[in-house]
Chain A
Amino acid sequence: MEQVLCDLITALRGSGVRISPAETVEALEAVALVGLEERGILCDALSVVLAKSRTEKEIFRDCFDRFFSPDGFIASGERPPLLADEGRRAADSPLSRMLLSGDPAGLSMAMREAADQAEISGIYFFTQKSLYIQRILRGMGVEGLDRDILRLTREDPDASQQKAGALRAGKAFLFEQVRDFVEQQYVLYAASAREAIMERYLRDMKLSNLEQRDYERMHRIIQRMAKALNDAHSRRKKEARRGVLDVKNTLRENLAFQGLIFAPRWKSKKVNRPDMMVMCDISRSVEAVSRFMLLFLYSLNEEMARIRSFVFCSDMAEVSHIFEAYGVDEALMRLQKGTGLGVGLGRTDYGQAFRDFKETCLERIGRRTTVLILGDARNNYGAPETGILSLIHQRARRVIWLNPESPPFWGTGDSEMRRYLPFCTLARECSSVSQLERAVSFLVKNA
Chain B
Amino acid sequence: MGLDLDRKFQGIEDVRKGFEDVGYVCSRRIATTLYLAHHLQKPILVEGPAGVGKTELAKAAAAVVKMPLIRLQCYEGLDESKALYEWKYGKQLLYTQILKDKLADLLEGTDGLAEAVARVHQYDDIFFSEHFLAPRPLLLALQEKEGAVLLVDEVDRSDQEFEAFLLEVLSDFQVSVPELGTIHAVSRPYVFLTSNNTREMSEALKRRCLHLYIPFPDAGLEREIVRVRAPGVPERLRAQLVAFVQQLRELDLKKVPSVSETLDWARVLMVLNARDLGADLIRDTLNILLKFEVDIEMVEGRLYEMAGKAVR
A interface list, Cβ under 8 A from B: 18, 20, 22-23, 26, 29-30, 33-34, 40-41, 44-45, 47-49, 51-54, 57, 227, 231, 235, 237, 256-258, 260, 262-263
Given contacts A29-B40, A34-B12, 20 further A-B contacts (CB under 8 A): A18-B203, A26-B42, A33-B36, A34-B32, A41-B32, A44-B29, A44-B33, A45-B32, A47-B29, A48-B211, A49-B210, A49-B211, A52-B45, A52-B206, A52-B207, A52-B211, A53-B206, A54-B47, A54-B213, A257-B93
Asked whether A48 lies within 8 Å of B89 as measured between CB atoms, the reply is no
Q: Are A44 and B206 in contact (CB under 8 A)?
A: no
Give the complex CA separation of A49 and B36 in angstroms. 9
The smallest beta-carbon distance between B16 and chain A, in angstroms, is 11
Report whether A260 and B93 are in contact in the complex, using a CB–CB cutoff of 8 Å: yes
Question: Chain A residues with Cβ under 8 A from B89's Cβ?
Answer: 257, 262-263
A232 to chain B, nearest CB (A): 10
CB-defined A-B contacts under 8 Å, sample of 14: A20-B207, A23-B207, A30-B40, A33-B36, A34-B32, A34-B35, A45-B36, A47-B29, A48-B212, A52-B45, A52-B206, A53-B206, A231-B199, A256-B90
Give chain A residues whose Cβ lies under 8 Å from the Cβ of B35: 33-34
Give complex CA distance A23, B208 in Å.
Answer: 8
Report the bound CA distance from A26 to B33 in whole Å: 13
**211-247 of chain B: CB within 8 A of chain A:** 211-213
A26 in complex: contacting residue of B29, B40, B47, CB < 8 Å: B40
Which residues of B sit under 8 angstroms from A258, Cβ to Cβ?
93
Chain B residues contacting A52 (CB-CB under 8 Å) are 45, 206-207, 209, 211
Within B2-34, the residues touching A (CB, 8 Å) are 12, 28-29, 32-33
Is the beta-carbon distance between B199 and A44 smaller than 8 angstroms? no
**Nearest 7 pairs between A and B by C-beta?**
A52-B206, A52-B211, A44-B32, A44-B29, A262-B89, A48-B33, A48-B210
**Shortest distance from the beta carbon of B242 to any chain A beta carbon, whole Å:** 23
Kindly identify which residue among B39, B42, B211 contacts A51, using a CB–CB cutoff of 8 Å. B211
Interface of A is mostly: helix
Assembly CA distance A22 to B170 (angstroms): 14
Contact (Cβ within 8 A) B40 A53: no
**A22 with B207, Cβ < 8 A, contacts A30-B40, A34-B12, A44-B33 known:** yes
Q: Is B110 an interface residue (CB 8 A)?
A: no
A53 near B211 (CB under 8 angstroms)?
yes
Whether B93 pairs with A48 at a CB distance below 8 angstroms is: no
* Residues from chain B with Cβ under 8 Å of A262 in the complex: 89, 92-93
Cα A33 to Cα B197 with chains together (Å): 30
Chain A neighbourhood of B92, CB < 8 A: 262
Bin chain B's interface residue count: 20 to 34
Q: Which residue of the partner chain B has the closest CB to A57?
A: B213
In the complex, the chain B residue whose C-beta lies closest to that of A45 is B32
Closest-by-CB residue of A relative to B89 is: A262
Task: Let me know if B200 is at the binding interface, CB within 8 A.
Answer: yes
Q: Please, which residues of chain A bring their CB within 8 A of the CB of B187?
A: none
Could you tell me the distance between the alpha carbons of A57 and B211 in the complex, rounded to whole angstroms? 10
Q: What residues of chain B lie closer than 8 Å to A57, measured between beta carbons? A: 211, 213
Known contacts being A30-B40, A44-B32, is A257 close to B90, with CB within 8 Å?
Answer: yes
User: How does the 8 Å CB contact mask read for B175-209 relative to A, with 1 for contact and 0 for none?
Assistant: 00000000000000000000001011001001101
B160 contacts A by Cβ under 8 Å? yes
B159 at the interface (CB under 8 A from A): yes
> Does A30 lie within 8 Å of B36, measured CB to CB?
yes
* Cβ-closest chain A residue relative to B86: A263
Closest B residue by C-beta to A231:
B200
> Whole-angstrom distance between the alpha carbons of A256 and B88 in the complex?
13
Cα–Cα, bound, A353→B77 (Å) = 42
CB distance from B232 to the nearest CB of A (A): 33
B210 / chain A contacts, CB cutoff of 8 Å = 48-49
Are A235 and B36 in touch, CB under 8 angstroms? no
**What is the bound-complex CA distance between A44 and B29, given in angstroms?**
6
Q: Whole-angstrom distance between the alpha carbons of A45 and B12 in the complex?
A: 11
Task: Across the interface, name the chain B residue whose C-beta is closest to A23.
Answer: B207
Asked if B39 and A44 make an inter-chain contact with CB atoms under 8 angstroms apart, the answer reads no
User: When chains A and B are docked, how far (Å) is the Cα of A346 from the Cα of B5?
Assistant: 75
User: With the chains together, A338 CA to B23 CA distance in Å?
Assistant: 56
Residues of chain B contacted by A22 (CB below 8 angstroms): 207
Q: How many angstroms from the CA of A227 to the CA of B197 in the assembled complex?
A: 13
With A and B bound together, what is the CA distance between A227 and B200 in angstroms?
10
Set of chain B residues within 8 Å of A235, measured between Cβ atoms: 159-160, 199
